[in-house]
Structure 1
């Protein structure tokens, strides 16, 4: 009997490991999905700011959203993200200023400046999109963040498409691997609570 339980325990561990590996693979594979459809707006998921300027991660997200706007893929940009500890401006305010410095018209940028996490970014941006009669959206974030973000957007009822940054600040496996492991952890967490 003890041998049977031991085999059963190892089987469960093996299944868990395989599931983690499959999830990591699916996140990495989805990172390459870039749906360049014309939508009403881009939703840029928040990231840190440094001395009232976008961090390298946020800069790349904004650059991609601005490229989508300049090339006619989106008509508006919804910037998201609240205020971090020690900051005097929210991530969204910094993003809006950056967009306007790069030629985006002020009336084409909508601000969501209260959220702290991805799910809040999307929930609050969805509220704005409904208020502004925006029906289709393109989600912009780092490639490894896209699977979880799109799953959340779809669960909220958004008509959403994936367009990850093409020049992510996470370029080497040394920076990508911790991001991937973090995303696997958060993806599991979201699945459990969803």
Structure 2
């Protein structure tokens, strides 16, 4: 009798264990599928970015990227060349370059390296305004917006790469830029598999931050 009771308890315990394992596996599978669907959605959003420039603006904002020592990296040079072309085409007369220090010990912030590049390309230094503190796209545009307000500027063209365009424009709209325009360039030097994969993660983090901002929690 005692053996039968023990066997019954053991069977019930084994059944509960199997149910728990099955539910855990289904839960894990659901999470993986949701992750795949979300990544596919974000990838679509990344790839649908388009330049939206229709008119001149008060200022161009060139978003920073990494420095290679004292010089802009090849990817950052692409953004600078694109922003320079817009400047030479007369779409804006003033430029904000934005980006903080990549690592301790570097001689220049991203903004300073960008300023130096543009000055060497013939842009008068008095037409370039530095934002030296930003460490993210959100900060790039938040701190640049403060510079715009200081100078009475209301319209801006945001200059960046195509894979970065969707998030950049969303940030600007969340910050309530006045009709923000986007001008994007396609990279020929950056490994897109790496950068688009990183952008999926960055866009996911931004989506969470955006929710917190809209709830007044950030």
Is 2:82 the partner of 1:64?
Answer: yes
Partner in structure 2 of residue 96 of structure 1: 115
Counterparts in 2 of 1:122 and 1:107: CA distance versus 1, 3 Å? same
Name which of 195, 204, 208 aligns with 1:188: 204
Partner in structure 1 of residue 38 of structure 2: 19
Contact 2:60 2:158 in 1 (8 A): yes
Name which of 98, 106, 113 aligns with 1:80: 98
Question: SS at the partner of 1:87?
Answer: coil
TM-score, normalised by the number of residues in structure 2: 0.78
Partner in structure 1 of residue 57 of structure 2: 39
CA distance in 1, matches of 2:27, 2:117: 56
Question: SS at the partner of 2:149?
Answer: helix
Measure how far apart 1:16 and its partner are: 3.5
Measure how far apart 1:23 and its partner are: 1.2
Mapping of 1:44-55 within 5 angstroms? 44-55=62-73
CA distance in 1, matches of 2:167, 2:35: 19
Measure how far apart 1:66 and its partner are: 0.7
Measure how far apart 1:168 and its partner are: 4.7
Is 2:189 the partner of 1:169?
Answer: yes
Structure 2: state its 5+ residue gaps: 1-18, 211-218
Contact 1:75 1:108 in 2 (8 A): yes
Partner in structure 1 of residue 147 of structure 2: 128
Contact 2:75 2:187 in 1 (8 A): no
Contact 1:142 1:168 in 2 (8 A): no
Measure how far apart 1:166 and its partner are: 4.1
Root-mean-square deviation over aligned CA pairs: 2.1
Counterparts in 2 of 1:51 and 1:20: CA distance versus 1, 3 Å? closer
Structure 1: state its 5+ residue gaps: none
Is 2:133 the partner of 1:114?
Answer: yes
Question: SS at the partner of 2:184?
Answer: coil
Measure how far apart 1:142 and its partner are: 1.4
